Structure formats: structure tokens, C-alpha cells
Amino acid sequence: AGTPLVMDFGADAQAEGSWVRTDGGEKLGPVGVSIRCDREKGSCISATVNSHGTNFFAPDISIFPATFTKDAITYVDDFPTCVLYRTTIDLKQERATSSRILKPGAKADGECKAIREPVIRMELGTAPIDTKPLEDHFVPLLSLLLPVLAFVF
């Protein structure tokens, strides 16, 4: 999955990279991810930027309550209608993993019918991304954005 950036600063921790599937399924689209967790606040801020070809979309920024142990941080994003994301940052192994899980009771005939896989397992890595389309575009710098958000929230 490549080598993501995972750092433990004691009071807070950070993970950056791109989600790469670890379950052998279809390749994920290019998504830049930056997560910063604060032990004192008991929360994590996650910022993601999706792209398609030469188009980059506005960052999605979310704050989640998190559980902290000596060696790991976990949080759950259950905001989406059909799925939830369970994310763990393993500070000892310096890696981050996430599972997208179909929510119990999600209807296969409604807005969730496009979801074909009940579980997708991912690891934060450095997925190969074609940087050629980026040469003439401004790409948001998530590493600059998160400290500002951490200060505000």
C-alpha cells in the first residue's frame, strides 16, 4: 500500500496519504486524506479531496469523536445514509486502516442499491497518482488547512 505519513506527537497524532484497498477488490479512485487527532479534545478532524481526471472537488472536512489508547486511535463516521466508515490509526505500527461497512437495515432497493459490496477494507498508503494533470491546477494543501481547523474547533 506504500508508505503513508503517520506521526504520534503525544498530545495529538496525524495521518496522511491515499486510501488503497487491501481486500483485493476494485481499485479506489484518487482521494487525498489528512487526519489530525487531538487527545485532549477527544476528536479527529478528517479532510479528504476527491478528484476525477483534471477536476478536483472541494475538500470534505469532518470532525469525529474518537477513542484513544496508548497505541491506537479509532473513530466511526456514520453520517452517510448507507454505510459507515470505521477508521483506526495504529500508532505503534504507524499505519491507518479503514473499513466501509454497509449499515444494518440499508435497503438494497432504495438509494443504497448501487452499493454492491457489503464491506471494503482499506489502508492509508501512497497510491500511485498521475501528477501530469496537476501541472496547471491549484490543489488544496490539506496539511496547511488542518492546523487552521484544529485551532478554530
Predicted confidence (pLDDT) per residue in 4-48, tens digit: 689 999 899 999 999 999 999 988 887 889 999 999 999 999 999
Residue 129 has pLDDT above 50, yes or no: no
Cα separation, 34 vs 12, whole angstroms: 13
Whether 30 contacts 15, CB under 8 Å: no
Cα separation, 105 vs 92, whole angstroms: 35
Residue 61 has pLDDT above 80, yes or no: yes
Q: What are phi and psi of 150, to 5 degrees?
A: -60, -35
Residue 120 has pLDDT above 60, yes or no: yes
Q: What is the largest CA-CA distance in the chain?
A: 46
What's the pTM value of the predicted model, to 2 decimals? 0.79
Nearest to 18 by CA among 40, 35, 43: 35
pLDDT value, residue 41: 96
Nearest to 31 by CA among 16, 47, 51: 51
Residue 139 has pLDDT above 60, yes or no: no
Residue 64 has pLDDT above 80, yes or no: yes
